[in-house]
Structure 1
Amino acid sequence: MTGTKTISLNADIGESFGAWVMGADELIMPHIDCANVACGFHAADPLTMSRTLQLAKEHKVSVGAHPSYPDLVGFGRRHMACSAEEVTAMVQYQVGALQALAAGRQMSVDYVKPHGALYNDMLSDGNTFDAICEAIKALQRDDQVPLMIMATPHNQAWRKRAEEHGVTLIFEGFADRAYDDNGHLRSRQYSDAVFQNDEQIIEQAQRFNNGEKIKSVNGELLDIQIDSLCVHGDNPQAISTIKHIRSLLTKNPESNNQ
């Protein structure tokens, strides 16, 4: 199957906190279409958020809110037993903060992508998914604010569930993450969860870009169709990899930068 649609390139951005620097945002931003901006609960602070927005504006990059559980110490990667009401409130709180900072720069927040454990819980717990959709529904005015979620072999079922809340979905694949046989990301507790080999990352990106099946950690072929491709800015190979993938997506005759 050959790719017949534009696939955007996104990265998690703005994950520094105070004097602590994470990633290389200035080097990554020129090569991506969409920036998932941390909102203060797993990383970032008001000044970091503001500076990240300005960087995105300079490079004409679409901004997405990247909310998480309130877990600075664990970088948002630890599950928290929150009620649906709490999840809705914490997502609204974080997205609202980024929207306020964006408005001050005549910018908008174009989508929401939960981070870390909240992202994973969204697909393993339907109540969490519904709670996040309710938060996004409350934030929408004249324009839709799509929810970015992990693409799996079951995209259509999730799309239907989101539509019940009046929310549209952006399905995301990962160039630098391994997948289990069920089509979900391999847990970071395993040493092979994140690709360190540039060739592996480029090969998986190429398969996604062509609409081909990708390989699980055990060699199973997975049919996962995506709208956006993520490369993590904290990966040691990030800068080199993003440049390669940017070139790859641009070479696709059906693909153009957003």
Structure 2
Amino acid sequence: MAFTIDLNADLGEGFGRWTLTEDEALLSVVTSANVACGFHAGDPSTMRRVCELAVEHGVRIGAQVSYRDLAGFGRRAMEVPADELADEVAYQIGALDVFARAAGARVSYVKPHGALYNRTVTDEEQASAVVTGVVLAGGQLPVLGLPGSLLLRAAAAAGLEPVAEAFADRAYTAQGGLVPRSIPGSVLHEPAAVLGQALSLAARQSVTAVTGERLPVTARSICLHGDTPGAAQAGLRVRRELIRAGVELRAFT
């Protein structure tokens, strides 16, 4: 059986003179780029540069929206009123789209980052606020999120395309959620483990939870975290082995 999957990664996660992600190397691996829009990381020059590189590599540009939390890299829990969050999501999409258009492309989809991503799995108000922000920004942009999340449900209800994703380098709970980063082992660092999980997700549509259960996971995109040390090298290996296994790598947009 032939399988098609999108590979996405978080890119542009630097600020000023500080850099984190191996943007150019990762853009030779992925088919979709989740570009930081300045709220958890990223600045105008970084956003412009990543958009230009993405276009050069034929990679789709996605807006990775976040809570306004540069100090905490967008991974701290925050209480943001729904109307304010919607405005901030629209603001981030619009800012990135300026640079995407200047590079000859457009923002193709939206994905929340960090604490906002996790919050929208179960919080209906915050999930709806993100979707409202996407609609406010204009266009019918697909929304990337965890399978079964309230975010994807809200996106579908608003007439947007919900796109389920899975993670090659994150551990899963028995309920199909991501193991919190505060728990040891929540992030997979061993290249063999990342590769094995990516192959299982793409070809078998399943993942093994930390408690040993085999979970069905139907996803159209697989995420590789760009801020993990050695991400580009691990991603290149994942890409090569997926292709070798007969998996077609293609952007979902």
TM-score by length of 2: 0.94
Deviations for 1:174-217, whole angstroms, at most 9, x for unmatched residues? 00000111111010001110011111111111110113421111
Q: 1:123 aligns with which of 115, 121, 124?
A: 121
Measure the CA separation in 1 of the matches of 2:146 and 2:153: 15
Q: How does 1:237-256 map to 2 (within 5 A)?
A: 237-253=230-246, 255-256=248-249
1:204 matched to 2:197 = yes
What's the CA shift string for 1:10-53, capped at 9, x where partnerless? 10000110001112112111111000000000001101110111
Spell out the pairing of 1:207-246 with structure 2 (5 A cutoff).
Answer: 207-246=200-239
Residue of structure 1 in register with 2:21 after alignment: 23
Give the structure-1-normalised TM-score: 0.92
Flag the 1:243–1:76 CA change in 2: closer, same or farther, 3 A: same
Tell me what 2:71 maps to.
73
Residue 62 (1) aligns with residue 60 (2): yes
Structure 2 residue matching 1:166: 3-state secondary structure:
coil
Does structure 2 conserve the Cα–Cα contact (< 8 Å) formed by 1:250 and 1:257?
no
Give me the whole-angstrom Cα distance separating, in 2, the residues matched to 1:248 and 1:82.
42
State how far apart, in whole Å, the 1-side matches of 2:40 and 2:113 are. Answer: 8
SS for the counterpart of 1:255 is strand
Query: Shift of the alpha carbon at 1:76?
Result: 0.3
Q: Work out the number of aligned pairs and report it.
A: 251
User: Which stretches of structure 1, 4 residues or more, deviate above 3 A after TM superposition?
Assistant: 157-161
Q: Does 1:183 align with 2:176?
A: yes
Give 1:252 shift: 4.2
What aligned pairs does 1:132-143 form with structure 2 within 5 A after superposition? 132-141=130-139
Unmatched tracts of structure 1, length 5 or more: none
**For 2:19 and 2:25, how far apart are their aligned partners in 1?**
14
**Is the contact made by 1:211 and 1:225 (CA closer than 8 Å) also made in structure 2?**
no
CA contact (8 A) 2:127 2:151 kept: no
Secondary structure at 2:89 match in 1:
helix
User: CA deviation digits over 1:62-86, x for unaligned, max 9?
Assistant: 0000010010000000011011111
Q: Which amino acid aligns with 1:181?
A: A
- Relative distance call for 1:27 and 1:114 in structure 2 (3 A) is same
Quick check: 1:14–1:52 contact (8 Å CA) kept in 2? yes
Shift of 1:251: 2.8
Amino acid in the other structure paired with 2:73: F
RMSD over aligned Cα, in angstroms?
Answer: 1.6
Equivalent in 69, 82, 90 of residue 88 of structure 2: 90
How far residue 218 of structure 1 moved from its aligned partner, in angstroms, is: 0.8
Q: Which amino acid letter does the alignment assign opposite residue 215 of structure 1?
A: T
Corresponding residue SS for 2:78: coil
Partner of 1:7: 5
CA separation in 2, counterparts of 1:200 and 1:189? 20
Q: Which has the higher strand share?
A: 2
Structure 2 gaps, min length 5: none
Query: In the alignment, is the contact (CA less than 8 A) between 1:136 and 1:167 conserved in 2?
Result: no
Q: Sort the Cα spacing of 1:118 and 1:159 in 2 relative to 1 into closer, same or farther, 3 A.
A: closer
Which secondary structure does the structure 1 equivalent of 2:248 belong to? coil
| Percent identical residues | 38
1:193 pairs with 172, 186, 197, which one? 186
* CA deviation string 1:73-131 (max 9, x = no partner): 00000011011111101100101100112222221000000100011111120111111
Q: Which amino acid aligns with 1:137?
A: V
The residue identity in structure 1 corresponding to 2:14 is S
